[in-house]
Amino acid sequence: MNDRLARIALMRLAEPGDALMGGLVASLGAQAVVERVRAGRPDPALVRLLTGSAGDDGGGAGGSVGDGGADENDRAGRGAGGGGHDAGGGGAGGSREERIAGRLRRAFASWSARLEPADPRRDLAEGERNGARLVIPGDPEWPTQLDDLGRARPYALWLHGDADLRFSCLRSVALVGSRAATPYGAHVAAEFGAGLSGRGWTVVSGGAYGVDGAAHRGALAGGAPTVAVLACGVDVAYPSAHHQLFTAVRAHGVLVSECPTGSYPTRPRFLIRNRLIAALSRGTVVVEAAVRSGALSTARHALSLNRVLGAVPGPVTSETSAGCHRLIRQGAAVCVTTPEEAIELTGALGADLARESHGPVLPRDELEPETRRVLETVPARGGAGPAAIAVAAGVGMDTALACLGGLAAAGYIERVSRGWRLRPEGPRSPSGR
Amino acid sequence: MNDRLARIALMRLAEPGDALMGGLVASLGAQAVVERVRAGRPDPALVRLLTGSAGDDGGGAGGSVGDGGADENDRAGRGAGGGGHDAGGGGAGGSREERIAGRLRRAFASWSARLEPADPRRDLAEGERNGARLVIPGDPEWPTQLDDLGRARPYALWLHGDADLRFSCLRSVALVGSRAATPYGAHVAAEFGAGLSGRGWTVVSGGAYGVDGAAHRGALAGGAPTVAVLACGVDVAYPSAHHQLFTAVRAHGVLVSECPTGSYPTRPRFLIRNRLIAALSRGTVVVEAAVRSGALSTARHALSLNRVLGAVPGPVTSETSAGCHRLIRQGAAVCVTTPEEAIELTGALGADLARESHGPVLPRDELEPETRRVLETVPARGGAGPAAIAVAAGVGMDTALACLGGLAAAGYIERVSRGWRLRPEGPRSPSGR
């Protein structure tokens, strides 16, 4: 079982954002973790691994898994219900090692039970048959900003849609807010979506009614991709009334999920999903939210990930704007009243990153020989998957993926639902899409 | 001519907030200034006085008058059109002394022409016949916070209404905003007015349509006084449709003007009046204002006087809230969504001042003999003016005024339209009114 299949298995056996699993994967790698879970009980070395210096996970928000609730991502994972393993009896007393050993035993029991029926090969085949693609850390399309999530980083992502996720998110703003949006909130979300998209900025949001849906609809009217991060499988239209909207997002953007295909959303998954919206985008703008809105969890994630945060004010007579006003009053969010102000806020911190996508165009002649061979196999119409391209170019899969990533960054090729194809306009900044 | 009459004359001969006049009055006193103006041309000693160290005016925002526009109050006075004397030809070149000498010559010419027809005794008699009262710096009812205006401090104030201005403003919030308020803005202004007044906080505002009127109407529904600062004489109902509103304010608060009785408002006077609203109150809250609203000049005055500033957000789709949002975005104003938040904002800085009005109650037996004599002459019904009280108590006018101020502070007596009377409830904190 390779890394790709192991990560598909992880999606089945642990809940998204489970910090304990994240810590193990960061230390051992996905394949080794799956093997250990298959072997049954955790061996004592794992406890030492998790309680010792776990600084090798590379994630800024990582740290030790030991004391639950001590770090934000851990809390996020466990607070959402699925990721924690303290819920069962015992484990409260004893030394730190004993507590972690207890959590690990309970986690292994739960993971083993789920591993039994998992069939990663079938999952992969089914997902690809449906038109989706799997991306894992190290893939060219993997959005490296997700590494900021540390131990709560997703194991893998299912993507479905024509846009390249990584490049789409280089200049992106998350628009979040209440499902029960007022007409005012829906209007503002659509205006912001259209304004951002019209200026070449990608909108990132969920797939819910209210602000999410209005933001995507607005974004579809502009020229930039829109990214919908779902709490269900990318093949599951939830809510079903958004079936057409998701079809449109696939054509002009991309659907994203860290859940296995076919899975339905649960309330904890909505909350844990919010960290992806915050982490994918350069900044988050809360369009309309009551003080107890779930959108505020996205805002908290954005802050804990050092992303910029904005909030749109509304009538003080509207409870649905009270969450926005509180964020502004606390100084946690900047008051944002127009799409331009959202861009100003988000662009300021990351001018470097935005420039990355405008990098100097590399003339075709100056490409590395392998890269040029890969480019020559990319079709102008339709699209080809990385495996087919690797075979045709006579390079290994890893080389093909690396070359494709570089070619996309240089503007030669673009992601479509069936793989990669040449950009009709040739090499230029992909931000112009 | 005493100080009181001299200041009435100053109201006639110089525009409100004239920093040049303010500087002369601070240095020489009102009587001496009127005498010099009557004498004709300014003597060279005045130029030396204004260019030299003029640090004896006691006002924090004072400073040198020399270079027009260098300080905020000077700018405020001159920006409003009436106060500056640079508008005429010449004076642009030359040394600092020459420029000031030129300004002073032009100012004296204008003041002399207005002094001719002025009749301060008639003004005083007429004002008092109409039920108004004049207060000047040093009077018990003079709001000493106006001294923060430095050279732009008013020469005197005409007051008309039952509330004591000084004590009313100890716990006060200015509510300002657009004359062309939307229904939303008018609703919020009334809610804030009622909420503040119901919690014992005085509302300070202008007398215009829109936010001003709605704030007063709301405040009249609460228990605390409301203060309307007019840009016309206290006896002039402008706008005339607010005649009934002003009658209600007189009964439950006080009308304030730095203009001579009978004078009609001019556009510059509206703007220069705004500094009084900012200076009288402990903090200013902009309820609804477009980016070019005159209410923002009150906000600027509040900031330059180190008063706290709040702004109420509104729909981002409303141009009439754009001024509020800009203040919040700039960090100049705190986002305020309820009357409680306005009090929290305003109360924080001045807890000391608010306590002042809750000072220890001085038992009647421990009053100074003169003060006790003055107290014994204050009627329980109707009301008596300070002059009548001074005569009846056998003390001088100055002593009577000082004693009356102390008695009011201790809660023995209260201001009514006809002068002073005993408080029915006896001595306790006047803030309970």
**pLDDT tens, residue by residue, B60-112:** 333 334 333 333 333 333 333 344 565 444 445 578 888 889 999 999 999 99
Average pLDDT estimate for A21-41: 94
Helix (H, G, I), strand (E, B), or coil: what is residue B177?
A: strand
Higher pLDDT, B235 or B367: B235
Q: Are residues B368 and B347 in the same domain?
A: no
Residues B228 and B286 in one domain: yes
Q: Does the beta carbon of B311 lie under 8 angstroms from any beta carbon of chain A?
A: no
In a domain, B156, yes or no: no
Q: Which residues of B touch A335 (CB under 8 A)?
A: 313, 325, 328-329, 335
Helices and strands (DSSP H and E) totals, chain A: 19, 11
- Could you give the strand order of the β-sheet that contains A308-311, starting from the edge strand earlier in sequence? A133-135, A157-160, A253-257, A226-229, A202-205, A172-177, A283-288, A308-311, A334-335
Mean local confidence (pLDDT), B208-217: 98
Please give the share of chain B, as a percent, with pLDDT higher than 90: 63
Return mean pLDDT, chain B: 85
The answer to whether residue A193 scores a pLDDT higher than 90 is: yes
Q: Which residues contact A133 (CB under 8 A, 6 or more apart)?
A: A127, A141, A158, A159, A160, A385, A419
Question: According to the model, what pLDDT value does residue A417 have?
Answer: 67
Strands B253-257 and B157-160, bridge-based pairing: antiparallel
Q: Which residue of B has its CA nearest to A317?
A: B188
Asked if A72 contacts A122 with a C-beta cutoff of 8 angstroms, the reply is no
Distances (CA, A) of B357 to A154, B170, B171, B350: 61, 8, 9, 12
A131 domain-assigned: no
**Residue B172 sits in the same domain as residue B84:** no
Tell me, yes or no, whether A395 and A280 share the same domain: no
Amino acid code (one letter) for A110 = S
Is residue B133 in some structural domain? no
Q: Dihedrals φ, ψ of B91, to 5°?
A: 80, -10
**Confidence at residue B334, expressed as pLDDT on a 0 to 100 scale:** 96
pLDDT tens digit sequence for B155-190: 999 999 999 999 999 999 999 999 999 999 999 999
Structure tokens at A6: 């192991």
Q: Is A322 helix (H, G, I), strand (E, B) or coil?
A: helix
A150 φ/ψ sector (left φ>0, alpha ψ -120 to 50, else beta): left
pLDDT over 70 (residue A360) = no
Query: Please, are residues B91 and B102 in contact by the beta-carbon 8 Å criterion?
Result: yes
**Could you list the residue range(s) of the whole structural domain that residue A50 is in?**
3-122
Q: Which of B285, B287, B337 to mutate to test the interface with A (most CBs of A within 10 A)?
A: B337
CATH code for position A418: 1.10.10.10
In this structure, what CATH number is given to the domain that contains residue B342? 3.40.50.450
Reported as type and span, the H/E element at residue B203 is: strand B202-205
Distance CA B422, CA B138 (A): 22
* A359 inside domain: no
Q: Are B310 and B288 in contact (CB under 8 A)?
A: no
User: What value does the mean pLDDT of chain A take?
Assistant: 85
From chain A, pick out residues whose CB is under 8 angstroms from the CB of B335: 313, 325, 328-329, 335
Q: What share of chain A is helix, strand, coil (3-state, %, to 5)?
A: 50, 10, 35
From the CB of residue B58, how many other CB atoms can be counted at a distance below 10 Å?
Answer: 11
- Distance (Å, whole) CA A106 – CA A117: 19
Domain end marker among B312, B329, B355: B355
DSSP character at residue A265 = P
Residues B228 and B267 in one domain: yes
Q: Is residue B312 within 8 angstroms of chain A, CB to CB?
A: yes
Question: For residue A279, which of A81, A431, A147, A83 has the smallest C-alpha distance?
Answer: A147
Helix axis angle for A267-280 and A72-79, nearest 10°, is: 150
- Contact (CB, 8 A) for B373 and B393: yes
Best to test chain B binding among A285, A316, A317, A321 (most B CBs inside 10 Å): A316
- Picking from B227, B291, B284, the residue whose alpha carbon sits closest to that of residue B254 is B227
Backbone conformation region of residue B234, classed left if phi is above 0, alpha if psi is from -120 to 50, else beta: alpha
Determine what percent of chain A is predicted with pLDDT higher than 90: 63
Helix H or strand E segment including B410: none
Q: Return the pLDDT at B92.
A: 52
Same domain, B376 and B253: no
Q: Of B393 and A252, which is predicted with more confidence?
A: A252
pLDDT, average across residues B236-246: 93
Q: Domain end: B355, B373, B404, which one? A: B355
Query: Is residue B20 over pLDDT 90?
Result: yes
Same domain membership, residue B337 and residue B192: yes
- Name the closest residue on chain A to residue B185, using Cα atoms: A315
**Rounded CA gap, A310 and A299, in Å?**
9
Would an 8 Å CB–CB cutoff place A322 in contact with chain B?
Answer: yes
A39 within domain boundaries = yes
Instruction: Please give the Cα distance from A408 to A419 (Å, whole number).
Output: 12
Q: What is the pLDDT of residues B105-158, one digit of tens each?
A: 999 999 999 999 999 999 999 999 999 999 999 999 999 999 999 999 999 999
ipTM score over 0.85, yes or no: no
The token pair that represents A235 in the structure block: 């093949």
Q: Of the given ranges (B174-188, B298-312, B363-377), which has the lowest mean pLDDT?
A: B363-377
Same domain, A190 and A291: yes
Cβ(A214)–Cβ(A193) below 8 Å: yes
Structure-block tokens of residue A403:
């070359």
Let me know: does A375 contact A407? Beta carbons within 8 Å: yes
Say yes or no for a CB contact (<8 Å) between A328 and B325.
no
A36 within a domain of the structure (yes/no)? yes
Check whether residue B170 and residue B302 sit in a common domain. Answer: yes
pLDDT tens digits for A228-240?
999 999 999 899 9
For residue A286, give the 3-state DSSP assignment.
strand
Beta-sheet pairing, A334-335 with A308-311: parallel
Nearest CB neighbour to A325, from listed B188, B329, B335: B335
Output the six-digit token pair for B17.
């907030």
Number of domains in chain A: 3
Residues of A in contact with B187 (CB under 8 A): 317
pLDDT at B408: 79
Query: B170 vs chain A: nearest CA distance in angstroms?
Result: 25
Given this model, what pLDDT does residue A362 score? Answer: 54
Place of tokens 């100049």: B332
In a domain, B141, yes or no: no
Same domain, residue pair B230 and B180: yes
| Residue A359 φ/ψ, nearest 5 degrees | -50, 165
Does residue B241 sit in the same domain as residue B303? yes
Residue A132 is assigned to a structural domain of this protein: no
Question: Among A73, A106, A122, which residue terminates a domain?
Answer: A122
Cβ count within 10 A of residue B221:
14
Nearest to B315 among A184, A335, A341 (CB): A184
Q: What is the mean pLDDT of residues A245-265?
A: 95
Residue to test with chain B: of A335, A336, A344, most B Cβ within 10 A: A335
Name which of A170, A175, A139 is nearest A155 in CA terms.
A139
- Residues A167, A283: one domain? yes
Is residue A74's pLDDT more than 50? no
Q: Please check the confidence at residue A70 and state whether its pLDDT lies above 50.
A: no
